[in-house]
Amino acid sequence: MIISIQHLYYLVGGILLIMAAMTLADKTHPKRFSSGLFWGLYSLVFLVGEKLPPTWVGAGVILMALIAGFGGVGSGTHIERRAEDYLAAAKRLGNKLFMPALTIPLVTVAATLSAKHLMLGGVPLLDPKNTTLIGLALGCITAFAITCWMTRESPVQGMRESRRLTDALGWALVLPQMLGMLGLVFSDAGVGKAVAYVTTSYINMDIRFVAVAVYVLGMALFTVIMGNGFAAFPVMTGGVGVPILVGVYGGNPAVMAAIGMMSGYCGTLMTPMAANFNIVPAALLELPDKNAVIRAQIPTALLLLTANVFLMYFLMF
C-alpha cells in the first residue's frame, strides 16, 4: 500500500509538534512550559512511538497523566473576533461556508467506497485495513485547502485555529487513548475473566428469563466498566451466552449476538469511559458539565436496555 496509517501518525505528530512549539513560544500563556511539555510528549508518541522501548512510552504516559492531572495543561490566550465580524463574514461567504464542512464527509465516503479500485502498479493506494481513517485525512486535507483558498487565509492561521480548538479540548483530547490503553491493560491483567467468574458463580441461572437478563444487563454493565462493547462481548458471550443461552437453552446465536452487542452500546451511552463519544463532545460543545451528554442519553439507554431483555427473550427461542 502507498498511503498507510503510519503516514497519518506522522501528520498528527507534526501538527502536535507545531502546537507544542507555538505554546512554548507564547509568552502570555499561563502554563507555557508544562503545556508545551505535555503536547511535545504527545507528539513524540505519534512521530517515533513505535520505535521507542515500551517502558519509555509507559513512563512518558504516566508523566503526561501527572501533568494533566495536576492542572498543568492550560489554554493560551486566543483573541476572539468581534460578533459583528463573524456576522459580516457569514454574510459575505454565505452558503459557500457549508462547502468545506461537507467536503470532509463526502471525500471520506468517496475514498472508502472507491478504495478497492484505487491501485497503482498492482498495489492498493490506500491501506485496505484503514480506509475510513485515511479517507477522513484526505477529506480534511482537501477541505483545508479549499477553506484557505476561499477565506484567503494562510495555512499558518489554520494551525492557529487548530491550536485554539485543541486548547479548548485540553487533555480531554488524550483521554480516549488513555482509556483505550486501560482496556488493554484490563484484558492483559484478566479483569474480564474475573468479572465473568463472579457474575456466573453468584447468580442462579436456572430460570431462562434470568439468564437472558444477566446476559443483556451484563453486556451493558461490562461496557460501562470497560468503555467498549467489543471488550465486553467475548467475556459475557464466553461466560454466559454460549454455555447457557445457546448450550443449555438452545437459543438462536445470531439473535444473541446482535441484541447482546446493542445492549453493550446502551452501556456505551452511559459511561464516561467511552470518552470519544461522551466526554470529548461535551468539551467540544463547551458544556460546563462534562457528563451532560451522558445525562441526555441515560433515559434512551435504560428504556432500550429494558426493551432488549424482552426482545431477546421472545426472538431467541
Partner 1 sequence: MVHELNLWPLIGVAVIVAGFVLRFNPMLVVITTAVATALAAGFDPTKVLATIGTGFIKTRNLPLIILLPLGVIGLLERHGLRQHAQAWIANIKSATAGRLLLVYLAARQLTAAMGLTSLGGHPQMVRPLLAPMVEGTAETRYGSLPERIRYKLRAYAAATDNVGLFFGEDIFVAFGAIVLMSTFLSEAGISVEPLHIALWGIPTAIVAFLIHAWRLLRLDKALNRELGAAKDGEEAR
Task: Output the nine-digit C-alpha cell for 26.
Answer: 507564547
Q: Is 21 in the site for partner 1 (CB under 8 A)?
A: no
**Nearest approach, Cβ of 9 to partner 1 (angstroms)?**
6
Nearer to partner 1, 119 or 303 (CB): 303
Q: Which stretch binds partner 1 (CB under 8 A): 21-29, 50-58, 118-126, 204-212?
A: 50-58
Find, among 205, 216, 212, 202, the residue nearest to 266 by Cα. 216
Give the Å distances, CA to CA, from 241 to 253, 271, 279, 315: 8, 23, 31, 15
The three cell numbers of residue 14 are: 507534526
Whichever of 33 and 295 has its CB closer to partner 1, that residue is 295
Q: Is 149 in the site for partner 1 (CB under 8 A)?
A: no
CA 43 to chain centre: 18
Q: In the window 223-262, what residues touch partner 1 (CB under 8 A)?
A: 225, 229-230, 233-234, 237-238, 242, 246, 252-255, 257-259, 261-262
- Site residues for partner 1, 257-316, by CB under 8 A, read 257-259, 261-262, 265, 268-269, 272-273, 275-282, 284-285, 287-289, 292-293, 295-297, 299-300, 303-304, 307-308, 311, 315
CB closer to partner 1 out of 77 and 122: 77
- For residue 119, the minimal CB distance to partner 1 (Å) is 20
Q: 190 to 209, contacts with partner 1 by CB under 8 A?
A: 190-191, 193-195, 197-198
Pick the closer one to partner 1 by CB: 69 or 122: 69
- Greatest pairwise CA separation for the chain in angstroms: 70
Do residues 216 and 305 touch, judged by C-beta distance below 8 A? yes
Exactly one of 1, 7, 9, 118 binds partner 1 (CB under 8 A); that residue is 9
Interacting positions 110-129 with partner 1 (CB under 8 A):
112
Q: Are 216 and 235 in contact (CB under 8 A)?
A: no
Alpha-helical runs (H) found in the chain: 5-25, 32-47, 54-69, 83-93, 98-114, 131-151, 155-169, 175-189, 191-202, 208-226, 229-236, 253-268, 275-284, 292-316
Per rule CB under 8 A, is residue 156 in the interface with partner 1? no
- Tell me: does residue 97 bind partner 1 (CB under 8 A): yes
Pick from 161, 203, 209, 249 the residue near partner 1 by CB under 8 A: 161
Q: Is 55 in the site for partner 1 (CB under 8 A)?
A: yes
Which grid cell sits at 292? Answer: 451532560
The Cα 9–Cα 7 span in angstroms is 5
